Chain A
Protein backbone atom coordinates (compact mmCIF):
# COMPACT_ATOMS: atom_id res chain seq x y z
CA UNK A 1 0.00 0.00 0.00
CA UNK A 2 2.74 2.40 0.97
CA UNK A 3 4.12 2.22 -2.56
CA UNK A 4 0.83 3.55 -3.93
CA UNK A 5 0.55 6.40 -1.47
CA UNK A 6 4.18 7.44 -1.51
CA UNK A 7 4.28 9.41 -4.81
CA UNK A 8 1.33 11.56 -3.71
CA UNK A 9 2.90 12.10 -0.30
CA UNK A 10 6.17 13.16 -1.94
CA UNK A 11 4.43 15.60 -4.27
CA UNK A 12 2.48 17.18 -1.41
CA UNK A 13 5.61 17.39 0.75
CA UNK A 14 7.73 18.89 -2.01
CA UNK A 15 5.19 21.29 -3.45
CA UNK A 16 3.07 22.27 -0.47
CA UNK A 17 4.67 21.59 2.90
CA UNK A 18 8.15 22.74 1.82
CA UNK A 19 7.14 26.11 0.39
CA UNK A 20 4.76 26.66 3.29
CA UNK A 21 7.54 26.18 5.82
CA UNK A 22 9.74 28.48 3.81
CA UNK A 23 6.99 31.09 3.68
CA UNK A 24 6.40 30.77 7.40
CA UNK A 25 10.07 31.45 7.99
CA UNK A 26 10.03 34.46 5.65
CA UNK A 27 7.05 35.93 7.48
CA UNK A 28 9.19 36.26 10.60
CA UNK A 29 11.92 38.19 8.78
CA UNK A 30 12.21 41.94 8.65
CA UNK A 31 11.78 44.18 5.59
CA UNK A 32 14.28 46.87 4.83
CA UNK A 33 13.92 49.37 1.99
CA UNK A 34 17.53 48.85 1.00
CA UNK A 35 18.18 45.16 1.57
CA UNK A 36 14.54 44.09 1.02
CA UNK A 37 14.76 41.19 3.50
CA UNK A 38 16.74 40.94 6.71
CA UNK A 39 17.04 37.79 8.77
CA UNK A 40 15.02 38.08 11.96
CA UNK A 41 12.72 36.14 14.22
CA UNK A 42 9.96 38.54 15.14
CA UNK A 43 6.14 38.61 15.00
CA UNK A 44 6.38 42.23 13.88
CA UNK A 45 4.78 41.69 10.44
CA UNK A 46 1.75 39.95 11.94
CA UNK A 47 1.26 42.63 14.55
CA UNK A 48 1.58 45.37 11.93
CA UNK A 49 -0.94 43.71 9.61
CA UNK A 50 -3.47 43.18 12.40
CA UNK A 51 -3.03 46.71 13.71
CA UNK A 52 -3.31 48.38 10.29
CA UNK A 53 -6.92 49.55 9.65
CA UNK A 54 -6.34 49.20 5.92
CA UNK A 55 -5.60 45.49 6.14
CA UNK A 56 -8.34 45.00 8.69
CA UNK A 57 -10.65 46.48 6.05
CA UNK A 58 -9.25 44.18 3.35
CA UNK A 59 -9.79 41.17 5.61
CA UNK A 60 -13.31 42.38 6.43
CA UNK A 61 -14.13 42.71 2.72
CA UNK A 62 -12.68 39.26 2.03
CA UNK A 63 -14.68 37.64 4.81
CA UNK A 64 -17.86 39.44 3.81
CA UNK A 65 -17.50 38.46 0.15
CA UNK A 66 -16.64 34.86 1.02
CA UNK A 67 -19.47 34.42 3.51
CA UNK A 68 -22.01 36.10 1.26
CA UNK A 69 -20.90 34.07 -1.75
CA UNK A 70 -21.01 30.84 0.24
CA UNK A 71 -24.50 31.57 1.55
CA UNK A 72 -25.87 32.64 -1.82
CA UNK A 73 -24.20 29.74 -3.59
CA UNK A 74 -25.78 27.34 -1.11
CA UNK A 75 -29.20 28.95 -1.57
CA UNK A 76 -28.93 28.79 -5.36
CA UNK A 77 -27.10 25.48 -5.51
CA UNK A 78 -29.29 23.35 -3.26
CA UNK A 79 -32.44 23.42 -5.40
CA UNK A 80 -30.41 22.82 -8.54
CA UNK A 81 -28.46 19.99 -6.89
CA UNK A 82 -31.69 18.44 -5.63
CA UNK A 83 -33.20 18.53 -9.08
CA UNK A 84 -30.05 17.04 -10.59
CA UNK A 85 -29.81 14.32 -7.95
CA UNK A 86 -33.43 13.29 -8.42
CA UNK A 87 -33.31 13.22 -12.20
CA UNK A 88 -34.13 9.80 -13.55
CA UNK A 89 -34.01 10.37 -17.26
CA UNK A 90 -31.17 9.79 -19.66
CA UNK A 91 -30.51 13.54 -19.54
CA UNK A 92 -28.96 13.21 -16.11
CA UNK A 93 -25.40 12.56 -17.25
CA UNK A 94 -25.70 15.30 -19.84
CA UNK A 95 -26.83 17.80 -17.21
CA UNK A 96 -24.00 16.70 -14.92
CA UNK A 97 -21.48 17.35 -17.70
CA UNK A 98 -23.11 20.72 -18.42
CA UNK A 99 -22.69 21.62 -14.76
CA UNK A 100 -18.99 20.89 -15.16
CA UNK A 101 -18.48 22.89 -18.36
CA UNK A 102 -18.04 26.28 -16.62
CA UNK A 103 -15.00 24.80 -14.86
CA UNK A 104 -13.32 24.44 -18.24
CA UNK A 105 -13.08 28.21 -18.51
CA UNK A 106 -10.27 29.72 -16.47
CA UNK A 107 -11.08 32.42 -13.94
CA UNK A 108 -9.15 35.11 -15.81
CA UNK A 109 -10.80 34.35 -19.13
CA UNK A 110 -14.19 34.29 -17.48
CA UNK A 111 -13.66 37.57 -15.61
CA UNK A 112 -12.41 39.21 -18.81
CA UNK A 113 -15.59 38.07 -20.49
CA UNK A 114 -17.63 39.54 -17.65
CA UNK A 115 -15.82 42.84 -18.17
CA UNK A 116 -17.06 42.87 -21.74
CA UNK A 117 -20.54 42.14 -20.46
CA UNK A 118 -20.90 44.52 -17.53
CA UNK A 119 -18.31 47.21 -18.31
CA UNK A 120 -19.39 50.80 -18.92
CA UNK A 121 -19.14 50.15 -22.69
CA UNK A 122 -20.23 46.54 -22.21
CA UNK A 123 -23.09 44.65 -23.73
CA UNK A 124 -25.58 45.31 -20.93
CA UNK A 125 -24.96 49.03 -20.80
CA UNK A 126 -25.03 49.30 -24.58
CA UNK A 127 -28.36 47.53 -24.56
CA UNK A 128 -29.78 49.68 -21.79
CA UNK A 129 -28.74 52.89 -23.51
CA UNK A 130 -30.08 51.68 -26.85
CA UNK A 131 -33.52 51.22 -25.33
CA UNK A 132 -33.28 54.72 -23.91
CA UNK A 133 -34.04 53.56 -20.39
CA UNK A 134 -30.91 55.27 -19.08
CA UNK A 135 -28.96 58.24 -20.35
CA UNK A 136 -25.48 57.37 -19.10
CA UNK A 137 -23.86 54.00 -18.35
CA UNK A 138 -25.04 52.22 -15.20
CA UNK A 139 -22.13 51.34 -12.99
CA UNK A 140 -22.00 47.57 -12.82
CA UNK A 141 -18.32 46.75 -13.02
CA UNK A 142 -15.93 47.69 -10.21
CA UNK A 143 -18.63 47.13 -7.59
CA UNK A 144 -18.71 44.62 -4.73
CA UNK A 145 -21.83 43.18 -6.36
CA UNK A 146 -19.89 42.39 -9.52
CA UNK A 147 -17.26 40.54 -7.48
CA UNK A 148 -19.88 38.56 -5.53
CA UNK A 149 -21.82 37.55 -8.62
CA UNK A 150 -18.63 36.82 -10.56
CA UNK A 151 -17.24 34.67 -7.76
CA UNK A 152 -20.49 32.79 -7.42
CA UNK A 153 -20.36 31.91 -11.08
CA UNK A 154 -16.96 30.33 -10.45
CA UNK A 155 -17.88 28.32 -7.37
CA UNK A 156 -21.48 27.30 -8.10
CA UNK A 157 -20.54 24.12 -10.02
CA UNK A 158 -18.46 22.89 -7.06
CA UNK A 159 -21.39 23.44 -4.71
CA UNK A 160 -23.95 21.81 -7.00
CA UNK A 161 -21.84 18.72 -7.68
CA UNK A 162 -20.93 18.24 -4.02
CA UNK A 163 -24.55 18.60 -2.91
CA UNK A 164 -25.94 16.47 -5.73
CA UNK A 165 -23.80 13.49 -4.77
CA UNK A 166 -24.92 13.82 -1.15
CA UNK A 167 -28.61 14.18 -2.00
CA UNK A 168 -28.33 11.21 -4.32
CA UNK A 169 -27.26 9.10 -1.38
CA UNK A 170 -30.52 9.89 0.45
CA UNK A 171 -33.03 7.27 -0.69
CA UNK A 172 -36.08 8.73 -2.36
CA UNK A 173 -38.23 6.39 -0.28
CA UNK A 174 -37.37 8.40 2.85
CA UNK A 175 -39.03 11.45 1.33
CA UNK A 176 -41.97 9.34 0.25
CA UNK A 177 -42.27 7.87 3.72
CA UNK A 178 -42.36 11.34 5.27
CA UNK A 179 -44.99 12.49 2.77
CA UNK A 180 -46.95 9.32 3.42
CA UNK A 181 -46.97 10.16 7.11
CA UNK A 182 -48.49 13.55 6.36
CA UNK A 183 -45.50 15.85 5.80
CA UNK A 184 -45.94 18.56 3.14
CA UNK A 185 -43.02 19.15 0.79
CA UNK A 186 -41.40 21.87 2.88
CA UNK A 187 -41.56 19.75 6.04
CA UNK A 188 -40.08 16.79 4.15
CA UNK A 189 -37.18 19.04 3.22
CA UNK A 190 -36.75 20.47 6.72
CA UNK A 191 -37.08 17.22 8.65
CA UNK A 192 -35.58 14.65 6.29
CA UNK A 193 -33.58 15.99 3.33
CA UNK A 194 -31.81 18.88 5.05
CA UNK A 195 -30.58 17.02 8.18
CA UNK A 196 -29.45 14.03 6.13
CA UNK A 197 -27.71 16.23 3.56
CA UNK A 198 -26.05 18.34 6.24
CA UNK A 199 -22.63 16.65 6.34
CA UNK A 200 -22.34 17.10 2.58
CA UNK A 201 -23.67 20.62 2.78
CA UNK A 202 -20.94 21.47 5.28
CA UNK A 203 -18.36 19.92 2.96
CA UNK A 204 -19.68 21.89 0.00
CA UNK A 205 -19.74 25.13 1.97
CA UNK A 206 -16.20 24.60 3.26
CA UNK A 207 -14.94 23.95 -0.26
CA UNK A 208 -16.69 27.02 -1.65
CA UNK A 209 -15.73 29.22 1.29
CA UNK A 210 -12.05 28.38 0.84
CA UNK A 211 -12.26 29.11 -2.88
CA UNK A 212 -14.01 32.43 -2.18
CA UNK A 213 -11.52 33.50 0.48
CA UNK A 214 -8.71 33.05 -2.03
CA UNK A 215 -10.45 34.59 -5.00
CA UNK A 216 -7.97 36.58 -7.05
CA UNK A 217 -8.72 37.18 -10.74
CA UNK A 218 -12.39 37.92 -10.17
CA UNK A 219 -11.59 40.37 -7.38
CA UNK A 220 -8.97 42.21 -9.43
CA UNK A 221 -10.76 42.30 -12.79
CA UNK A 222 -14.34 42.90 -11.61
CA UNK A 223 -13.61 44.73 -8.36
CA UNK A 224 -11.27 47.26 -9.85
CA UNK A 225 -8.37 49.13 -8.26
CA UNK A 226 -10.39 50.39 -5.28
CA UNK A 227 -11.71 47.00 -4.26
CA UNK A 228 -9.23 44.98 -2.22
CA UNK A 229 -9.38 41.39 -1.12
CA UNK A 230 -6.69 39.40 0.65
CA UNK A 231 -5.28 37.31 -2.20
CA UNK A 232 -4.54 40.36 -4.41
CA UNK A 233 -3.14 42.16 -1.35
CA UNK A 234 -0.69 39.30 -0.77
CA UNK A 235 0.31 39.35 -4.42
CA UNK A 236 0.86 43.12 -4.32
CA UNK A 237 3.30 42.77 -1.43
CA UNK A 238 5.35 40.18 -3.28
CA UNK A 239 5.34 41.75 -6.75
CA UNK A 240 4.91 45.48 -6.32
CA UNK A 241 6.04 46.20 -2.78
CA UNK A 242 8.80 43.60 -2.86
CA UNK A 243 7.99 43.23 0.83
CA UNK A 244 8.15 39.45 1.11
CA UNK A 245 8.04 39.19 4.88
CA UNK A 246 4.86 41.26 5.14
CA UNK A 247 3.28 39.46 2.18
CA UNK A 248 4.07 36.13 3.81
CA UNK A 249 2.51 37.28 7.08
CA UNK A 250 -0.65 38.38 5.20
CA UNK A 251 -0.78 34.99 3.48
CA UNK A 252 -0.69 33.20 6.82
CA UNK A 253 -3.32 35.50 8.30
CA UNK A 254 -5.57 34.64 5.34
CA UNK A 255 -4.84 30.95 5.81
CA UNK A 256 -5.46 31.19 9.56
CA UNK A 257 -8.76 33.02 9.17
CA UNK A 258 -9.97 30.55 6.54
CA UNK A 259 -8.97 27.59 8.70
CA UNK A 260 -10.50 29.05 11.86
CA UNK A 261 -13.86 29.77 10.25
CA UNK A 262 -13.91 26.41 8.51
CA UNK A 263 -13.25 24.52 11.73
CA UNK A 264 -15.70 26.66 13.66
CA UNK A 265 -18.49 26.25 11.10
CA UNK A 266 -17.96 22.52 10.81
CA UNK A 267 -17.95 22.08 14.57
CA UNK A 268 -21.08 24.16 15.11
CA UNK A 269 -23.12 22.45 12.41
CA UNK A 270 -21.67 19.06 13.19
CA UNK A 271 -22.57 19.31 16.88
CA UNK A 272 -26.09 20.46 16.14
CA UNK A 273 -27.00 17.30 14.31
CA UNK A 274 -24.61 14.79 15.81
CA UNK A 275 -26.26 12.02 17.75
Chain B
Protein backbone atom coordinates (compact mmCIF):
# COMPACT_ATOMS: atom_id res chain seq x y z
CA UNK B 1 0.00 0.00 0.00
CA UNK B 2 1.13 3.51 -0.66
CA UNK B 3 0.05 7.04 -1.19
CA UNK B 4 -1.17 8.43 -4.47
CA UNK B 5 -0.20 11.91 -5.55
CA UNK B 6 -1.23 13.79 -8.68
CA UNK B 7 0.76 16.89 -9.52
CA UNK B 8 -0.57 19.29 -12.11
CA UNK B 9 -2.04 16.42 -14.09
CA UNK B 10 -3.39 17.54 -17.47
CA UNK B 11 -4.70 15.78 -20.53
CA UNK B 12 -5.45 17.60 -23.74
CA UNK B 13 -6.98 16.10 -26.86
CA UNK B 14 -6.17 18.56 -29.60
CA UNK B 15 -7.78 21.80 -28.55
CA UNK B 16 -10.00 20.18 -25.91
CA UNK B 17 -8.79 19.88 -22.33
CA UNK B 18 -10.11 16.78 -20.58
CA UNK B 19 -8.10 17.17 -17.38
CA UNK B 20 -6.79 20.56 -16.35
CA UNK B 21 -3.94 20.78 -13.83
CA UNK B 22 -5.35 18.45 -11.21
CA UNK B 23 -3.49 18.32 -7.89
CA UNK B 24 -4.51 15.66 -5.43
CA UNK B 25 -2.96 13.65 -2.62
CA UNK B 26 -4.59 10.44 -1.43
CA UNK B 27 -3.26 9.31 1.93
CA UNK B 28 -2.47 5.72 2.74
CA UNK B 29 -5.68 3.81 3.40
CA UNK B 30 -7.86 6.69 2.32
CA UNK B 31 -10.78 6.45 -0.11
CA UNK B 32 -11.13 9.51 -2.30
CA UNK B 33 -13.98 9.84 -4.76
CA UNK B 34 -13.80 11.87 -7.95
CA UNK B 35 -17.29 13.22 -8.42
CA UNK B 36 -18.74 15.15 -11.31
CA UNK B 37 -21.04 15.09 -14.32
CA UNK B 38 -20.05 13.05 -17.36
CA UNK B 39 -17.29 14.70 -19.32
CA UNK B 40 -15.83 16.43 -16.26
CA UNK B 41 -12.51 14.59 -16.57
CA UNK B 42 -12.88 12.24 -13.63
CA UNK B 43 -12.58 9.06 -15.68
CA UNK B 44 -9.63 10.41 -17.68
CA UNK B 45 -7.91 11.22 -14.38
CA UNK B 46 -8.48 7.67 -13.11
CA UNK B 47 -7.25 6.20 -16.39
CA UNK B 48 -4.14 8.35 -16.22
CA UNK B 49 -3.40 6.85 -12.80
CA UNK B 50 -3.88 3.33 -14.21
CA UNK B 51 -1.66 4.17 -17.18
CA UNK B 52 -4.26 3.88 -19.93
CA UNK B 53 -4.03 7.58 -20.72
CA UNK B 54 -0.75 9.37 -21.15
CA UNK B 55 -0.89 12.77 -19.44
CA UNK B 56 -0.04 15.84 -21.50
CA UNK B 57 1.55 17.38 -18.44
CA UNK B 58 2.01 16.70 -14.75
CA UNK B 59 3.03 13.68 -12.72
CA UNK B 60 1.53 10.62 -11.07
CA UNK B 61 3.30 9.33 -7.97
CA UNK B 62 2.46 6.02 -6.34
CA UNK B 63 4.11 5.43 -2.99
CA UNK B 64 6.40 8.38 -3.72
CA UNK B 65 7.62 6.87 -6.99
CA UNK B 66 7.06 8.74 -10.24
CA UNK B 67 5.11 6.34 -12.49
CA UNK B 68 4.02 8.91 -15.08
CA UNK B 69 6.02 7.27 -17.87
CA UNK B 70 5.56 3.66 -16.75
CA UNK B 71 3.29 1.43 -18.87
CA UNK B 72 0.05 0.23 -17.27
CA UNK B 73 1.35 -3.27 -16.59
CA UNK B 74 4.25 -1.98 -14.49
CA UNK B 75 2.23 0.33 -12.23
CA UNK B 76 0.87 -1.95 -9.53
CA UNK B 77 -2.64 -0.57 -9.46
CA UNK B 78 -5.69 -2.76 -9.01
CA UNK B 79 -8.64 -1.55 -11.02
CA UNK B 80 -12.28 -2.57 -10.92
CA UNK B 81 -13.78 -1.65 -14.28
CA UNK B 82 -17.25 -0.27 -14.74
CA UNK B 83 -18.07 -3.21 -17.02
CA UNK B 84 -16.06 -5.51 -14.68
CA UNK B 85 -14.01 -6.62 -17.73
CA UNK B 86 -13.85 -10.25 -16.60
CA UNK B 87 -12.09 -12.56 -19.04
CA UNK B 88 -15.00 -14.53 -20.52
CA UNK B 89 -12.85 -17.52 -21.47
CA UNK B 90 -11.41 -18.04 -17.99
CA UNK B 91 -13.08 -19.43 -14.89
CA UNK B 92 -13.63 -17.31 -11.81
CA UNK B 93 -10.45 -18.77 -10.33
CA UNK B 94 -8.62 -18.17 -13.60
CA UNK B 95 -9.68 -14.54 -13.57
CA UNK B 96 -8.67 -14.00 -9.97
CA UNK B 97 -5.39 -15.85 -10.46
CA UNK B 98 -4.37 -13.93 -13.60
CA UNK B 99 -2.57 -11.13 -11.76
CA UNK B 100 -0.76 -13.65 -9.56
CA UNK B 101 0.33 -15.57 -12.64
CA UNK B 102 1.73 -12.35 -14.11
CA UNK B 103 3.66 -11.85 -10.88
CA UNK B 104 5.02 -15.39 -11.17
CA UNK B 105 3.47 -16.57 -7.91
CA UNK B 106 3.91 -20.33 -7.54
CA UNK B 107 1.01 -22.67 -8.10
CA UNK B 108 0.41 -23.65 -4.46
CA UNK B 109 0.56 -20.12 -3.13
CA UNK B 110 -1.52 -18.91 -6.04
CA UNK B 111 -4.31 -21.39 -5.33
CA UNK B 112 -4.28 -20.46 -1.66
CA UNK B 113 -4.47 -16.74 -2.42
CA UNK B 114 -7.24 -17.22 -4.99
CA UNK B 115 -9.26 -19.15 -2.38
CA UNK B 116 -8.64 -16.49 0.23
CA UNK B 117 -9.63 -13.65 -2.11
CA UNK B 118 -12.79 -15.45 -3.17
CA UNK B 119 -13.66 -16.12 0.46
CA UNK B 120 -13.26 -12.42 1.10
CA UNK B 121 -16.00 -11.68 -1.42
CA UNK B 122 -17.98 -14.81 -0.42
CA UNK B 123 -17.64 -16.55 -3.79
CA UNK B 124 -15.35 -19.46 -2.87
CA UNK B 125 -18.08 -21.91 -3.91
CA UNK B 126 -18.15 -20.56 -7.49
CA UNK B 127 -14.44 -20.75 -8.34
CA UNK B 128 -14.97 -23.05 -11.32
CA UNK B 129 -17.77 -21.11 -12.95
CA UNK B 130 -17.40 -18.98 -16.04
CA UNK B 131 -18.20 -15.28 -15.66
CA UNK B 132 -21.29 -15.53 -17.88
CA UNK B 133 -22.78 -18.05 -15.43
CA UNK B 134 -22.76 -15.46 -12.63
CA UNK B 135 -25.19 -12.68 -11.74
CA UNK B 136 -24.12 -9.06 -12.13
CA UNK B 137 -23.47 -8.71 -8.42
CA UNK B 138 -21.37 -11.86 -8.36
CA UNK B 139 -19.39 -10.72 -11.40
CA UNK B 140 -18.64 -7.49 -9.65
CA UNK B 141 -17.32 -9.35 -6.61
CA UNK B 142 -15.08 -11.43 -8.87
CA UNK B 143 -13.74 -8.19 -10.35
CA UNK B 144 -13.09 -6.94 -6.81
CA UNK B 145 -11.31 -10.14 -5.81
CA UNK B 146 -9.24 -10.08 -9.00
CA UNK B 147 -8.03 -6.55 -8.29
CA UNK B 148 -7.45 -7.15 -4.57
CA UNK B 149 -5.64 -10.46 -4.70
CA UNK B 150 -2.42 -8.97 -6.04
CA UNK B 151 -2.22 -6.51 -3.16
CA UNK B 152 -2.00 -3.43 -5.36
CA UNK B 153 -0.39 -0.21 -4.14
CA UNK B 154 -3.43 1.72 -5.27
CA UNK B 155 -6.96 0.47 -5.69
CA UNK B 156 -8.99 2.06 -8.50
CA UNK B 157 -12.77 1.89 -8.79
CA UNK B 158 -14.49 3.08 -11.98
CA UNK B 159 -18.18 3.66 -11.28
CA UNK B 160 -18.21 0.47 -9.21
CA UNK B 161 -21.93 0.42 -8.51
CA UNK B 162 -23.39 1.79 -11.73
CA UNK B 163 -24.18 -1.62 -13.25
CA UNK B 164 -26.01 -2.93 -10.19
CA UNK B 165 -29.69 -2.49 -9.55
CA UNK B 166 -30.72 0.06 -6.98
CA UNK B 167 -31.39 -2.43 -4.21
CA UNK B 168 -27.94 -4.00 -4.41
CA UNK B 169 -26.14 -0.74 -4.86
CA UNK B 170 -26.19 0.40 -1.26
CA UNK B 171 -25.33 -3.02 0.10
CA UNK B 172 -22.39 -3.53 -2.25
CA UNK B 173 -21.20 0.02 -1.67
CA UNK B 174 -21.02 -0.55 2.08
CA UNK B 175 -19.38 -3.90 1.49
CA UNK B 176 -16.65 -2.39 -0.68
CA UNK B 177 -16.14 0.35 1.89
CA UNK B 178 -15.80 -2.18 4.73
CA UNK B 179 -13.33 -4.24 2.71
CA UNK B 180 -11.33 -1.15 1.76
CA UNK B 181 -11.12 -0.07 5.40
CA UNK B 182 -10.25 -3.51 6.68
CA UNK B 183 -7.45 -3.97 4.16
CA UNK B 184 -6.33 -0.34 4.44
CA UNK B 185 -6.47 0.15 0.66
CA UNK B 186 -5.42 3.49 -0.77
CA UNK B 187 -8.34 4.00 -3.12
CA UNK B 188 -9.35 6.36 -5.88
CA UNK B 189 -12.95 6.01 -7.02
CA UNK B 190 -14.84 7.63 -9.86
CA UNK B 191 -18.56 8.20 -9.70
CA UNK B 192 -21.20 10.50 -11.05
CA UNK B 193 -23.55 9.50 -8.25
CA UNK B 194 -23.30 11.82 -5.27
CA UNK B 195 -25.05 9.39 -2.91
CA UNK B 196 -22.45 6.75 -3.73
CA UNK B 197 -19.64 9.21 -3.11
CA UNK B 198 -21.15 10.57 0.11
CA UNK B 199 -21.69 7.09 1.52
CA UNK B 200 -18.31 5.59 0.63
CA UNK B 201 -15.59 8.21 0.49
CA UNK B 202 -13.39 9.76 3.15
CA UNK B 203 -12.99 12.76 0.92
CA UNK B 204 -14.69 13.90 -2.26
CA UNK B 205 -13.23 15.76 -5.18
CA UNK B 206 -15.82 17.64 -7.20
CA UNK B 207 -14.72 18.17 -10.79
CA UNK B 208 -16.12 20.14 -13.69
CA UNK B 209 -14.58 20.87 -17.10
CA UNK B 210 -11.44 18.99 -16.13
CA UNK B 211 -10.80 21.11 -13.09
CA UNK B 212 -11.05 20.38 -9.38
CA UNK B 213 -13.66 22.70 -7.90
CA UNK B 214 -13.53 21.60 -4.29
CA UNK B 215 -12.00 18.88 -2.14
CA UNK B 216 -13.39 17.94 1.24
CA UNK B 217 -15.32 15.55 3.39
CA UNK B 218 -18.96 14.88 2.61
CA UNK B 219 -19.92 17.31 5.34
CA UNK B 220 -17.53 19.99 4.08
CA UNK B 221 -19.03 19.88 0.62
CA UNK B 222 -22.62 19.69 1.74
CA UNK B 223 -22.51 22.30 4.49
CA UNK B 224 -19.85 24.59 3.09
CA UNK B 225 -19.88 24.39 -0.71
CA UNK B 226 -17.43 26.82 -2.24
CA UNK B 227 -19.37 27.41 -5.42
CA UNK B 228 -22.94 27.21 -6.72
CA UNK B 229 -21.94 24.23 -8.89
CA UNK B 230 -20.78 22.22 -5.89
CA UNK B 231 -23.87 23.25 -3.93
CA UNK B 232 -26.10 22.08 -6.78
CA UNK B 233 -24.17 18.90 -7.54
CA UNK B 234 -23.74 17.57 -4.01
CA UNK B 235 -27.29 17.26 -2.75
CA UNK B 236 -30.16 19.46 -3.85
CA UNK B 237 -29.99 23.18 -3.40
CA UNK B 238 -32.07 26.26 -4.10
CA UNK B 239 -29.81 28.72 -5.90
CA UNK B 240 -31.07 32.29 -6.19
CA UNK B 241 -28.94 34.93 -7.90
CA UNK B 242 -29.02 38.46 -6.50
CA UNK B 243 -26.95 40.62 -4.16
CA UNK B 244 -26.26 41.19 -0.47
CA UNK B 245 -27.76 44.58 0.31
CA UNK B 246 -27.15 44.82 4.02
CA UNK B 247 -25.78 42.40 6.61
CA UNK B 248 -28.21 39.50 6.70
CA UNK B 249 -30.36 40.77 3.83
CA UNK B 250 -30.22 39.27 0.35
CA UNK B 251 -32.07 40.90 -2.52
CA UNK B 252 -32.97 38.38 -5.24
CA UNK B 253 -32.98 39.34 -8.91
CA UNK B 254 -36.75 39.28 -8.74
CA UNK B 255 -36.64 41.90 -5.97
CA UNK B 256 -37.51 39.69 -3.00
CA UNK B 257 -35.79 40.29 0.36
CA UNK B 258 -34.56 37.11 2.04
CA UNK B 259 -32.59 36.56 5.25
CA UNK B 260 -29.06 35.27 4.66
CA UNK B 261 -25.88 34.41 6.52
CA UNK B 262 -22.87 36.68 6.95
CA UNK B 263 -21.43 37.78 3.62
CA UNK B 264 -19.78 40.87 2.15
CA UNK B 265 -22.10 43.22 0.31
CA UNK B 266 -22.25 42.74 -3.44
CA UNK B 267 -23.48 40.27 -6.01
CA UNK B 268 -23.81 36.63 -5.04
CA UNK B 269 -25.92 33.53 -5.18
CA UNK B 270 -28.02 32.46 -2.25
CA UNK B 271 -27.71 28.73 -1.58
CA UNK B 272 -30.42 27.22 0.59
CA UNK B 273 -30.94 23.48 1.12
CA UNK B 274 -34.59 22.42 0.74
CA UNK B 275 -34.64 20.63 4.10
CA UNK B 276 -33.50 23.75 5.95
CA UNK B 277 -36.73 25.54 5.11
CA UNK B 278 -39.43 25.29 7.76
CA UNK B 279 -42.91 25.67 6.37
CA UNK B 280 -46.01 27.00 8.14
CA UNK B 281 -49.54 27.06 6.77
CA UNK B 282 -51.44 30.33 6.44
CA UNK B 283 -50.57 33.89 5.48
CA UNK B 284 -49.94 35.41 8.92
CA UNK B 285 -46.91 35.02 11.13
CA UNK B 286 -43.16 35.11 10.87
CA UNK B 287 -41.22 34.01 7.80
CA UNK B 288 -41.23 34.81 4.13
CA UNK B 289 -44.76 34.75 2.68
CA UNK B 290 -45.22 32.51 -0.31
CA UNK B 291 -47.81 30.64 -2.29
CA UNK B 292 -47.70 26.87 -2.68
CA UNK B 293 -47.43 26.14 -6.41
CA UNK B 294 -47.17 22.35 -6.19
CA UNK B 295 -46.53 19.61 -3.70
CA UNK B 296 -45.40 16.02 -4.04
CA UNK B 297 -46.09 13.41 -1.43
CA UNK B 298 -43.10 11.04 -1.23
CA UNK B 299 -44.13 8.95 1.77
CA UNK B 300 -41.70 9.83 4.52
CA UNK B 301 -41.04 13.20 2.93
CA UNK B 302 -43.13 15.79 1.20
CA UNK B 303 -41.76 18.21 -1.36
CA UNK B 304 -43.22 21.72 -1.56
CA UNK B 305 -42.74 24.07 -4.47
CA UNK B 306 -43.06 27.64 -3.27
CA UNK B 307 -43.78 30.73 -5.31
CA UNK B 308 -42.37 33.79 -3.55
CA UNK B 309 -43.75 36.14 -6.19
CA UNK B 310 -40.15 37.20 -6.80
CA UNK B 311 -38.72 33.73 -7.35
CA UNK B 312 -39.25 30.06 -6.55
CA UNK B 313 -38.02 27.78 -3.77
CA UNK B 314 -38.24 24.06 -3.16
CA UNK B 315 -38.69 22.86 0.42
CA UNK B 316 -38.52 19.29 1.63
CA UNK B 317 -39.77 18.22 5.04
CA UNK B 318 -40.81 15.05 6.81
CA UNK B 319 -44.44 14.46 5.96
CA UNK B 320 -46.38 15.93 8.91
CA UNK B 321 -48.79 13.75 10.90
CA UNK B 322 -52.40 13.65 9.61
CA UNK B 323 -53.76 16.13 12.17
CA UNK B 324 -51.18 18.76 11.20
CA UNK B 325 -52.71 21.72 9.26
CA UNK B 326 -49.91 21.41 6.68
CA UNK B 327 -51.44 18.11 5.59
CA UNK B 328 -54.41 20.05 4.25
CA UNK B 329 -52.26 22.35 2.08
CA UNK B 330 -53.21 22.42 -1.60
CA UNK B 331 -51.61 24.22 -4.56
CA UNK B 332 -52.49 27.91 -4.40
CA UNK B 333 -52.64 28.05 -0.58
CA UNK B 334 -50.68 30.77 1.25
CA UNK B 335 -47.74 29.58 3.37
CA UNK B 336 -44.73 31.02 5.17
CA UNK B 337 -41.17 29.81 4.76
CA UNK B 338 -38.60 30.27 7.49
CA UNK B 339 -34.93 29.43 7.90
CA UNK B 340 -32.05 30.37 10.13
CA UNK B 341 -29.86 32.99 8.42
CA UNK B 342 -26.81 30.73 8.72
CA UNK B 343 -28.46 28.04 6.56
CA UNK B 344 -28.70 30.48 3.67
CA UNK B 345 -25.12 30.82 2.46
CA UNK B 346 -24.16 33.46 -0.05
CA UNK B 347 -21.77 32.05 -2.65
CA UNK B 348 -19.70 33.99 -5.18
CA UNK B 349 -21.52 34.36 -8.47
CA UNK B 350 -20.72 31.57 -10.90
CA UNK B 351 -17.63 32.43 -12.90
CA UNK B 352 -18.09 31.68 -16.56
CA UNK B 353 -16.90 28.10 -17.04
CA UNK B 354 -15.92 26.16 -20.09
CA UNK B 355 -12.88 25.63 -22.22
CA UNK B 356 -12.07 29.33 -22.39
CA UNK B 357 -10.09 30.81 -19.57
A contact set with B: CB distance below 8 Å: 171, 173-174, 176-185, 187-188, 191-192, 195-196, 273, 275
Contacts and interface: CB of A to CB of B under 8 A. Distances in A.
Of the candidates B72, B75, B78, the one having the most CB atoms from chain A within 10 angstroms of its own CB is B72
Given A183-B98, A185-B73, A188-B73, 17 more contacts: A173-B83, A174-B88, A176-B52, A176-B79, A179-B51, A179-B52, A179-B73, A180-B51, A180-B77, A180-B78, A180-B147, A181-B73, A181-B99, A181-B147, A182-B74, A184-B71, A196-B88
Secondary structure at the B interface, as helix, strand, loop or mixed, is loop
Given A181-B98, A187-B102, A192-B87, A176 B81 contact: yes
Interface size bracket, B side: 20 to 34
B98 A180 contact: no
B103 A177 contact: no
A183 B73 contact: yes
B102 A182 contact: yes
Contacts of B81: 173, 176-177
A184 B73 contact: yes
A81 B193 CA distance: 38
22 contacts: A177-B79, A177-B86, A177-B87, A177-B146, A178-B98, A179-B71, A179-B72, A179-B73, A181-B102, A181-B147, A182-B73, A182-B99, A182-B102, A182-B103, A183-B73, A183-B98, A184-B71, A187-B102, A191-B87, A191-B98, A195-B89, A275-B130
B199 interface: no
Interface in B67-116: 71-79, 81-83, 85-89, 98-99, 102-103
A257 B122 CA distance: 53
B87 A176 contact: no
B150 interface: yes
Contacts of A275: 89, 130
B222 to A, nearest CB: 33
B50 interface: yes
Contacts of B73: 179-185, 188
Contacts of B52: 176, 179
Given A182-B73, A182-B150, A184-B73, A177 B85 contact: yes
A164 B118 CA distance: 36
Contacts of B130: 275
Contacts of B146: 177, 181
A187 B73 CA distance: 10
